[in-house]
Chains A and B, each alone.
Chain A
C-alpha cells in the first residue's frame, strides 16, 4: 500500500514566522508532488507542484523535494492568519494518474 505521511499537527506559528510543513512518501517511483491548501468546508486548492529535486519558490511559498530521502516539504514565509488551514501533501501514483494524499497538517497562524 503506497502511502503519504504527514504530521497531523496542529502546527502553531506566530504571524510573520516561517511555517514548515513536512511529508514523506513510500513509493520511490512517484515523480510528481503537490501541496494543496484546504480551508474548512472548502475544496482543496492547489498551491504548489514540484517534480525535480531541490527547491521551487512561488511568492511566500517554497516547496522542497528530496527523492533520495523520499521527503517533501513546504515552507511558508511571513505567515499570515489567512494561511491558517489544512495543508495536504499528495504524490502522483506510478501510473501518473491518481493522487495519493496524506491526512493533512493543520496550520494555525496567530496574530
Chain B
C-alpha cells in the first residue's frame, strides 16, 4: 500500500510569489491533515479535511493560505503571496476511520522563501 506522497519535496521562492503544495493521501483515507514545522519549533496543525469538507482550519495562520481538496482525493495548499516567515516544512497526513484517529505522515515539502 502506497503511503502519503507530497510534491514538491523542496521549493525555493521569492517573497511575494505564489507556491502550491500537493498531497496525495493513502488510498481510502477520508481524513487529510496539513501541518507545518517552522525551524526550531514543534510541528503545528494547520487544518483538517474530511473528504472534501474542511472540518477544522483553526491552525491556518492567515488568509494568505488556501487549502482545497476537490473530489475528496488529493489536496493542495497554496500560499499567496509568500512571506519570509512561511519558510518551513509542510507535512500532510492522512487517516482512516479508526476511533483513535491515527495519522500517517508524508515526507513533507521544505519551503524556503527568500
Contacts and interface: CB of A to CB of B under 8 A. Distances in A.
Interface of A: 4, 32, 34, 36, 42-46, 49, 51, 88, 92-93, 95-104
Contacts of B3: 43
Contacts of A100: 45
Contacts of B91: 43-44
A95 B43 contact: no
Q: Which 3 A-B pairs have the closest CB atoms?
A: A98-B45, A101-B43, A43-B105
A72 to B, nearest CB: 14
Interface residues on chain B, size class: 20 to 34
A42 B107 CA distance: 6
Given A46-B102, A92-B101, A98 B107 contact: no
B42 A104 contact: yes
B105 A36 contact: yes
A100 B56 CA distance: 14
Contacts of A104: 42
